[in-house]
Structure 1
Amino acid sequence: MTTAAAVAAAPPVTSLSEAERLRIEAFTTWLESRGGKFHRDLYFANDETTGLSLFSRHNHEGQGDDVVAVEVPVDIVITPWEARETIRRCFSKGTDEGDNGSGGDELQLQAKEWVALYVFLVRLALESRKGQSREGVSLQKARESVVKSPTTLDALLDRAPYIDVLPLDVPTPLHFSKDELQLLVGTPLYYHALECRRDTRRACSKAVRWLLARLNSDEPGTDRAQLRAVLEPLVAAIDEDESSLFSHEREAQSWDLDEEAYKPLRVFRWATTIVDSRAFPPRLVGQPREQSLTGPILIPGLDAFNHARQASVTWTYHEPSAVEKGASEKAKVTLTIHNGLSKGQQVFNSYGPKPNEDFLASYAFVDPAMQDDVVSLVLGGSGAPAPTSITQTSSAPVNSPQQSSTSRSIRPGVVEASDGQAASSCIVLPNGKKQHFWKITDTTCPPSLLAEVIELLPPMEQASDGDGQMEDELQTRGEALEVILELLEAKNAAFLNSQTRIDKIASIPTLRRAVVDNVMVYRKGQGIILEKSIRTVEREMNQVEEEFNNIM
């Protein structure tokens, strides 16, 4: 999933390799066998900028009808609940009907981590069965390669053709080299990447130890024995108590060491990135089967389209009527394109308006226009606020203009005030602190930031008359703006200080050019907003001073 920013110039499009063709064919055949389909005029090809992409064979403009680009049956959607229950069934300790797989030692993971663990296990199973190659795999072929016994992991392969077609290289900061990481110094993404490395290592260690306790070593030749052989070596190298002290500096120094010590960790981080970059909001497909496990979902096929901010699309969930159910019609989710299709042109989805901080953190691309960029500010924080996409469950800020008992539609490019956090300049982080967003389009200080600073100021004695109250309000506002100015100037100074090193780092020949270019666009947006925000606060302070002088 990537952006359309550089596609306007129509970069070269190349056909699929034989291995890619086999994987795509296996995936589309599987999708159709489950009741889904892509529009008949769409085809896959490689775009020089966006990689594997969908294109149109014919024009569909001016015909008066919207184009349904893909239909996906809801029963193949990967939800946290589905991922957890499948893993529990595959790794049950006993054979008793009452054993739900927890074995009295239930694995505790966040909703997103269950989906990532599912993707991780399917990927390992596929690599084991295909000898590390990426030839297309059909569900039937994969199952035929398994000796039928209670020790097989067949349930994991139900969505194998989908997992097999996912890109292996998604260069988000979580997958930067140690030198590439230095490009982010002085930005929130630097700290975010370090904390993601810690969190994924802890989740992987916890999950793998739980799995190993359920994989017998006396089952030679079985799927379970092969999986144990992959997971077991050197797992102690990444074992880490969640209560242990964490240091950004120590994490940066040991950046590459954990994956070198334990190879499966790289695959687990890849699976985590797949969820971050391809997930949809759970409300798109109705209420989850267990309210206690709500989180991001993967929708095979709907996630195959790259991002273009200007794309006019709707995601729609349709629950069949009683008559349709009688005709074996399934609940489905669809992607409808409203601005037509052009022959030979790529077909895009819209992930909604997002800042480059989110795009780079979760999707490995940026928007050079920077029209939705923000600077993150946390009062009293460590300088490491998380990108907005990490603190929300959806992959795009969305609102639901239409709701009914049988269908719901989401326009990802439309954001309204009723959409809560998506339209807000402030969210509450898991640690209780408030994270404020100074947008590149803001012409005044974010009200939420100003309000929080005022709350933190020492209380003033209440004036008895109207003029005195106005003076107090202006004085309080002026003091708050002064605090915000100091915060912004300190943040900008640290950013500029780090910027002096970036040009030297960017010239290191081993750095990936796409990574360097993406980070440079992100940093450019951060610098512009910091400079604009400082000028804005200075202007507002002057206005407060003028108002104060007028009433004196």
Structure 2
Amino acid sequence: MSGHGEHNTEAFRQWLHERRGYIHPDVYLKPGMCLHFSFGLNVVAMSNIPADVQIVSCPFSLAITPEVARRALAVVFRVDRSSPTLAGWSERQLVCSYIVMHHILDGQSAPCELAHRPYINILPSTDKLRTSLHFTREELEFFRGTNLYGATFDRRKAWEEEWEMCRSRIAISNSYLAHRFTWEHYLTASTYLSSRAFPSTLLSDNPTLVSTPGSYPVLLPGVDSLNHARAQPVSWVVSNPQPSAPLSDSEPSISLALHTLTPAGAELLNNYGPKPNAELILGYGFTLPNNPDDTIVLKIGGVKYVNPTWEVGRDARGAGPVWDAVKDAVLAQNRHDVDEEERATYSAEDELWATEVLVEMAEDLLGRLPPNSSVAISDDEQSAIRPEVAQMLDHYIEGQRDILHSLMEFAKAKEQAIIERAREEGIEIVEELVT
């Protein structure tokens, strides 16, 4: 059903306009290309568009929210909104299932509550999606040894459990719909949500992209059309009508404005916030070369923390807590048979040992990382990985290697500082402990 033909994009613009949404008249939507692969829509300027002007807006009433989804699904399933059929569904399950019903009932006499067909028609079809959940098994194997590899299986398992729960509940009231409620449909809808949703905090008087424990994902037709550029200066503006406003302007809307001039022919770009390539691959299906926001997730066994994982970025950003955790682990191993007061004090020997542990940990992780595509993929395997996936592999692995090298440099700097401090205090350093 989804597609990017001129008919679909024009139908979407008209639908948005009729419902008091807005797209700047000097922008148009065209298929995006990456490595000769058409993956979605680009928002492009037909003429120079000045800075600080409204590019797109969406009235709150057009947002796809869990409540909108629940109301529509109750009609589709012919149950009450409080029915056990919909009991216990998460916000994600409601929104994803609402999208799926548009696919299942495409071309059929669907209830008017399935009100977002023109929007869903412009979203990329399943074969255009490139998150790691859409990699072939052979492609995913090239990422073995990385955080992303395990995270992909974890997410797939969680989403499959959601899908199976929804399908079993739907079957209670409608076996026809349950049979057509396929994993492919649910994965596609879930990917729309992971790549296009905003936190509901954006629909507040003080809009923010920062999620809170009580926020939930919402889709904003039109506003989600712009692709990502890191550090792109943008503003989100909520317009609340005055009490005296005419009926046609009687509801709030969310608008996006860019703070830089966009020349004719250039793409207009949004800012999704700082995201590492692992998150971009898992949730969006693209990467950034030399991404400054890249991180690696480290887990230190034997450390008694509630959640013994830490994220470290380039230039060893965030390595301080990792260093403290490694020291704690070394101290616990070395001094389990001494009193609490002595156990709380690090010696120079303990700290030097901790630097060795940190270097060895980084070296071990480096050894597990796959090589980049030019090394990993033989001539016989070229057909096993698509060019755009190979590019993501290269961008991602470059960041992981850079972070681990910076962590090793961090450990070596710590080692030198410990040695110098010990010498100043007249402490003799045992040579075997120095890396």
**TM-score scaled by length of structure 1:** 0.67
**Equivalent pair of 1:183/1:505 in contact (CA under 8 Å):** no
Decide which of 65, 89, 92 is 1:79's aligned counterpart: 65
The reply to whether residue 116 of structure 1 matches residue 96 of structure 2 is yes
Which position in structure 2 is the counterpart of 1:493? 367
Q: CA deviation at 1:478?
A: 3.9
Q: CA-to-partner distance for each residue in 1:152-182, whole Å, 9 max, x for gaps?
A: 5431x21111111101121111011111111
Q: CA deviation at 1:499?
A: 8.6
**Equivalent pair of 2:59/2:251 in contact (CA under 8 Å):** yes
Decide which of 198, 203, 207 is 2:162's aligned counterpart: 203
Decide which of 188, 191, 203 is 1:270's aligned counterpart: 188
Which position in structure 2 is the counterpart of 1:513? 387
The reply to whether residue 191 of structure 1 matches residue 150 of structure 2 is yes
Q: CA deviation at 1:436?
A: 1.6
Distance 1:501 1:60, change over 3 A: closer
The reply to whether residue 57 of structure 1 matches residue 46 of structure 2 is yes
| Unaligned segments of structure 1, at least 5 residues | 1-17, 94-98, 130-144, 147-151, 217-224, 232-263, 382-427
**Equivalent pair of 1:80/1:293 in contact (CA under 8 Å):** no
Q: CA-to-partner distance for each residue in 1:124-178, whole Å, 9 max, x for gaps?
A: 222xx1xxxxxxxxxxxxxxx62xxxxx5431x2111111110112111101111
**Equivalent pair of 1:80/1:294 in contact (CA under 8 Å):** no
The reply to whether residue 177 of structure 1 matches residue 146 of structure 2 is no
CA–CA distance in 2 between the matches of 1:499 and 1:328? Answer: 54
**SS of residue matched to 2:311:** strand
CA–CA distance in 1 between the matches of 2:91 and 2:354? Answer: 39
Q: CA-to-partner distance for each residue in 1:308-330, whole Å, 9 max, x for gaps?
A: 11421111222223233766432
**SS of residue matched to 1:71:** strand
Q: CA deviation at 1:349?
A: 0.7
- The letter for the 2-side match of 1:452 is A
**SS of residue matched to 2:377:** helix
Decide which of 263, 286, 289 is 1:368's aligned counterpart: 289
Which position in structure 2 is the counterpart of 1:154? 112
CA–CA distance in 2 between the matches of 1:473 and 1:499? Answer: 44
- The letter for the 2-side match of 1:309 is R
**Equivalent pair of 2:370/2:376 in contact (CA under 8 Å):** no
CA–CA distance in 2 between the matches of 1:164 and 1:352? Answer: 27
The reply to whether residue 25 of structure 1 matches residue 10 of structure 2 is yes
**Equivalent pair of 2:4/2:30 in contact (CA under 8 Å):** no
**Equivalent pair of 2:131/2:285 in contact (CA under 8 Å):** yes
**Equivalent pair of 2:60/2:253 in contact (CA under 8 Å):** yes
Which position in structure 2 is the counterpart of 1:417? none
Decide which of 151, 169, 180 is 1:230's aligned counterpart: 180
The reply to whether residue 534 of structure 1 matches residue 424 of structure 2 is no
Decide which of 209, 220, 227 is 1:306's aligned counterpart: 227
Q: CA deviation at 1:500?
A: 10
CA–CA distance in 2 between the matches of 1:101 and 1:68? Answer: 40
Which position in structure 2 is the counterpart of 1:90? 76
Distance 1:450 1:299, change over 3 A: same
**SS of residue matched to 2:407:** helix
Which position in structure 1 is the counterpart of 2:417? 543
The reply to whether residue 336 of structure 1 matches residue 261 of structure 2 is no
CA–CA distance in 2 between the matches of 1:25 and 1:543? Answer: 64
Q: What is the percent sequence identity of the aligned residues?
A: 24
Which position in structure 2 is the counterpart of 1:317? 238
Q: CA-to-partner distance for each residue in 1:422-443, whole Å, 9 max, x for gaps?
A: xxxxxx9xxx524322111336
**SS of residue matched to 1:324:** coil
Q: CA deviation at 1:517?
A: 1.4
Number of positions where the alignment pairs a residue of Structure 1 with one of Structure 2: 407
Q: CA-to-partner distance for each residue in 1:314-362, whole Å, 9 max, x for gaps?
A: 1122222323376643201000011012111111111122211111111
CA–CA distance in 2 between the matches of 1:79 and 1:195? Answer: 25
**Equivalent pair of 1:123/1:164 in contact (CA under 8 Å):** no
Q: CA deviation at 1:301?
A: 0.5
| CA RMSD after TM alignment | 3.2
CA–CA distance in 2 between the matches of 1:91 and 1:101? Answer: 12
**Equivalent pair of 1:179/1:505 in contact (CA under 8 Å):** no
Decide which of 445, 450, 470 is 2:323's aligned counterpart: 450
Q: CA deviation at 1:489?
A: 2.2
**SS of residue matched to 1:48:** strand
CA–CA distance in 2 between the matches of 1:271 and 1:326? Answer: 34
Q: CA deviation at 1:455?
A: 4.5
CA–CA distance in 2 between the matches of 1:42 and 1:535? Answer: 48
The reply to whether residue 40 of structure 1 matches residue 20 of structure 2 is no
Which position in structure 2 is the counterpart of 1:137? none
Distance 1:293 1:125, change over 3 A: farther
**Equivalent pair of 1:74/1:285 in contact (CA under 8 Å):** yes
Q: CA deviation at 1:502?
A: 2.3
Q: CA deviation at 1:209?
A: 1.1
- Larger deviation: 492-501 or 339-348? 492-501
Q: CA-to-partner distance for each residue in 1:12-59, whole Å, 9 max, x for gaps?
A: xxxxxx961111111111111111010111111234336421111221
**Equivalent pair of 1:107/1:207 in contact (CA under 8 Å):** no
Distance 1:506 1:513, change over 3 A: farther
The reply to whether residue 102 of structure 1 matches residue 83 of structure 2 is yes
Q: CA-to-partner distance for each residue in 1:273-293, whole Å, 9 max, x for gaps?
A: 1111111121110299xx997
- Larger deviation: 514-523 or 496-505? 496-505
CA–CA distance in 2 between the matches of 1:276 and 1:106? Answer: 22
- The letter for the 2-side match of 1:87 is L
| Unaligned segments of structure 2, at least 5 residues | 428-435
The reply to whether residue 68 of structure 1 matches residue 25 of structure 2 is no
Which position in structure 2 is the counterpart of 1:280? 198
**Equivalent pair of 1:360/1:518 in contact (CA under 8 Å):** yes
CA–CA distance in 1 between the matches of 2:202 and 2:293? Answer: 24
**TM-score scaled by length of structure 2:** 0.84
**SS of residue matched to 1:438:** strand
Which position in structure 2 is the counterpart of 1:253? none
